[in-house]
């Protein structure tokens, strides 16, 4: 997962990410659950909610910037730095939870990540997560791909958004049983008049690494103009999110 975060702006302007994550927590079957790993915990907001529910929780993230915010905000919680595709716990847990993380991991690395999760769980343990699913932000990425081409660049899609079937297959291949899966549209309100350009600047970094600064601004401005008829409604920007939510069990 190669992304440098502006962790403070992420926390202040994109709080919908963890706010929506509260619904994902409801998928945990809480009977008998003690220990939970929050994988890709970011600023720790959901790790804290898990702790408030009475679980013994550890937050794990690859970003030192995010972990600094998490540790400052929630000094009573243990946060550790590790990469989701290469981690091991000293003791297995009852639940591995994750919100809005796995789409950052390349498809080729997903099996390695799922094996780490499988090993981190007790027998009968649950894996509960949400990520971007097939079609996530398709309007935004298609517009960017078109405009990159017009400016002489190639847009390399930086995310992995699987279907239910594809991801269920990957889970089963490492030994999980899938107990719940849903894919649904969730148009998501963005903050402020510059909501869409702020979103692109925050989340779509890697495709712009090869782009001249002047072209970058022009590409984003053009995308904002082209997308306004679909994504700007009642003076508010929306991103065309599609969510994949699953609950799988280690057997
Ligand atoms: C998501 O949560 O689906 C997402 C967020 C930022 C960039 C890409 C996907």
Q: What is the pLDDT of residues 47-105, one digit of tens each?
A: 999 999 999 999 999 999 999 999 999 999 999 999 999 999 999 999 999 999 999 99
98 CA from centroid of ligand 1 (Å): 13
3-state secondary structure of 131: strand
Q: What is the pLDDT of residues 12-23, one digit of tens each?
A: 677 777 788 889
Please tell me the distance from the alpha carbon of residue 185 to that of residue 25, in angstroms, as a whole number: 19
With a CB cutoff of 8 Å and minimum separation 6, the contacts of 54 are none
Burial 199-229 (b: 16+ CB within 10 A, else e): bbbebbeebbeebeeebbeebbebbbebbee
Average pLDDT of the segment spanning 16-45: 93
Give the pLDDT band (50/70/90) at residue 4. low
Q: What rounded mean pLDDT belongs to the chain?
A: 95
Nearest CA, atom 3, ligand 1: 132
Residue 2 has pLDDT above 60, yes or no: no
- Residues β-bridged to residue 98: 129
Give the pLDDT band (50/70/90) at residue 6. confident
If one residue of 13, 63, 132, 243 were mutated to test the ligand 1 pocket, choosing by the most ligand atoms within 8 A of its CB, it would be: 132
The residue among 86, 160, 174 whose CA lies nearest residue 127 is 174
159 CA from centroid of ligand 1 (Å): 8
Q: Encoding tokens for residue 41? A: 């915990």
**Who wins on pLDDT, 141 or 18?**
141
Residue 183 has pLDDT above 90, yes or no: yes
């Amino acid at each position: 997962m190669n992304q440098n975060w502006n962790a403070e702006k992420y926390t202040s302007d994109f709080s919908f990410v963890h706010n929506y994550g509260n619904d994902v927590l409801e998928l945990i079957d809480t009977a008998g659950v003690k220990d939970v790993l929050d994988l890709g915990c970011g600023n720790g907001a959901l790790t804290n909610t898990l702790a408030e529910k009475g679980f013994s929780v550890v937050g794990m993230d690859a970003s030192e910037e995010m972990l600094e915010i998490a540790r400052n905000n929630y000094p009573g919680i243990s946060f550790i730095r590790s990469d989701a595709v290469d981690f091991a716990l000293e003791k297995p847990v009852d639940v591995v939870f994750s919100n809005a993380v796995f789409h950052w991991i390349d498809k080729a690395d997903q099996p390695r990540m799922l094996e780490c999760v499988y090993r981190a769980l007790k027998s009968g343990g649950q894996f509960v997560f949400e990520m971007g699913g097939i079609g996530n932000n398709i309007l935004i990425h298609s517009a960017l791909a078109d405009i990159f081409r017009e400016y002489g660049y190639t847009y390399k899609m930086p995310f992995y958004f699987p279907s239910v079937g594809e991801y269920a297959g990957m889970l089963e291949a490492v030994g999980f049983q899938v107990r719940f899966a849903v894919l649904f549209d969730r148009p998501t309100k963005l903050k402020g008049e510059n909501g869409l350009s702020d979103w692109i600047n925050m989340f779509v970094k890697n495709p712009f690494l090869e782009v001249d600064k002047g072209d970058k601004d022009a590409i984003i401005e053009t995308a904002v103009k082209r997308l306004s008829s679909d994504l700007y409604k009642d003076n508010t920007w929306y991103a065309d999110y599609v969510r994949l939510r699953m609950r799988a069990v280690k057997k």
